[in-house]
Amino acid sequence: MKRYAAFLRGINVGGHATVKMEDLRRTFAQVGLKKVTTYQASGNVVFESDRTDVRTRIREVTEHLSGRLHIEVEVFLRSEEELRQLVRLNPFRFPGTAPGVAYVTFVRAGRAPLPPLPVRSPKSDIEVFLVRGPNIFSWGLPSGERSGYPTQFVEKMFGEPGTTRKWATVEGMASRFP
């Protein structure tokens, strides 16, 4: 039995694409995924599968949710080991490196040619400082009363959709694995 973390893009943000976590768990279970739990209310799901076609199951989940919500739902899947490797890497742990909010943006491939890092957004409210495969680490830097949020900037850098989580959420998801 393999364990996975699924990060859904655009669920329960900005007052649209609202899904109750009970419904999300049920949707994952209906396609044959096991021990489905959710973390927080923003489309974070942990599950197990003994199936080799887990990506097909996830495609069924996205089709169901997309049809129900009338938006394109995307899922960014990481195995338990991939998520644990991210947490062990923890590039945010170094003293004196906390200029803002710590984020990880998940993309599909992460293969676009990149400029030398770190890279700041045109508004100087995001700093991408590390890329590990399809995982992009950044700081949301203070900008007025808020800190920057990296999703759009990272999507533009990579030319593909992504979904972003605070580092604490990533650690929380990893802790869901027994």
The answer to whether residues 104 and 136 touch, using CB atoms and an 8 Å cutoff, is: yes
The answer to whether residues 173 and 46 touch, using CB atoms and an 8 Å cutoff, is: yes
Structural domain boundaries of the chain?
A: 2-82, 86-175
81-133 pLDDT tens trace: 999 999 999 999 876 666 889 999 999 876 777 889 999 999 999 999 999 98
Angular region, 133: left φ>0, alpha ψ -120 to 50, beta rest: left
- Closest to 77 (Cα-Cα) out of 49, 40, 117: 49
Phi, psi of 144 (to 5 degrees): 70, -130
**What is the widest separation between alpha-carbon atoms in the chain?**
48
157-175 pLDDT tens trace: 888 899 999 999 999 999 9
Note the pLDDT of residue 93.
87
Residue 77 and residue 83: Cα distance in Å, rounded? 10
Architecture of the structural domain at 2-82: 2-Layer Sandwich (3.30)
